[in-house]
A and B are shown apart, each in its own frame.
Chain A
């Protein structure tokens, strides 16, 4: 029973699907951020697996940059979320209608 690249890609896809379901299901913005973290992690698994099975460091490099992007996304997003919560007292997606035309 030898592990192949397809095992990891299928796992990555399953996790990505879980994240997508989370993005479509959640109304609370904090939970939405959790779902996006799951999406980024699923992609990271795929990159690391391709890097290993193709014998190339490029996949791991991309995974590093994705981790850096995820970290900065959390910092900015959480800051915006705190400001929004201080203003309105809610972090529900359906109530963000201030830009409605």
Chain B
């Protein structure tokens, strides 16, 4: 009973928050509604007994991803009202609904037709975090390490892309000035090498 009440409450809240994110014309409203929706989604994970996933959802999404977006938005002009294309809104709604129905069919088809055997069945004698750790570090060790390498690559890419030429504004410079800057920097590195 309480499970159902919690489900419907958080489902309503999440749908409202994400609708605000998609529909608003203010970037800051979109960001805050998005962060709220992320926290509400973690409630579903707690209801479903995936405690560790819920904690990770809060830490990674609202802690890291939304903070990153907030810092990134400092670079952009967020006070300006967003102008969106509205060529044919009805077509967009129809296409979105159609794609969603297709997704339901894709998800439901294997469940309805065949019996699925659990590869790693849920063991009620150990807690969720412990069981997750056992499965993750035995059966999924190689994907886990690959994900770690991928995150390292993404971190280095983010630092290189965003941190380069922080003291100069490439927006206010002409193309010739940028080319000149690149030429002088390569010259400097060549001189340093000699």
Chain A residues in contact with chain B, CB under 8 A?
1-3, 5, 7-22, 24-28, 30-31, 33-35, 37-38, 41, 44-46, 48-52, 54-58, 60-61, 63-65, 67-76, 78-83, 85-89, 91, 94
Cβ B18 vs Cβ A78 within 8 A = no
- Residue among A21, A44, A91 making CB contact with B96, cutoff 8 Å: A21
B64 contacts A71, C-beta separation under 8 Å: yes
Main SS at interface, chain A = helix
State how many angstroms separate the Cβ of A59 from the closest Cβ of chain B. 9
B residues with a Cβ closer than 8 A to A are 1, 3-4, 7, 11, 14-15, 18-19, 21-23, 27, 30-31, 34, 37-38, 41, 44-45, 48-50, 52-53, 56-57, 60-61, 64-65, 68-69, 72-73, 75-76, 82-86, 89, 92-93, 95-97, 99-101, 103-104, 107-108, 111, 116, 118-122, 131-132, 135-136, 140, 143, 147, 150-151, 153-155, 157-162, 164-165, 169-171, 178
Distance A16 CA – B107 CA, assembled complex (angstroms): 13
Given contacts A13-B103, A28-B84, A44-B41, contact A64 B121 (CB under 8 A): no
Contact A9 B48 (CB under 8 A): no
The DSSP consensus for interface residues of chain B is: helix
Total residue contacts A-B, CB cutoff 8 A: 228
Which of B34, B53, B147 interacts with A34 by CB under 8 Å? B34
**Contacts A20-B100, A72-B154 hold; do A57 and B132 have CB atoms under 8 A apart?**
yes
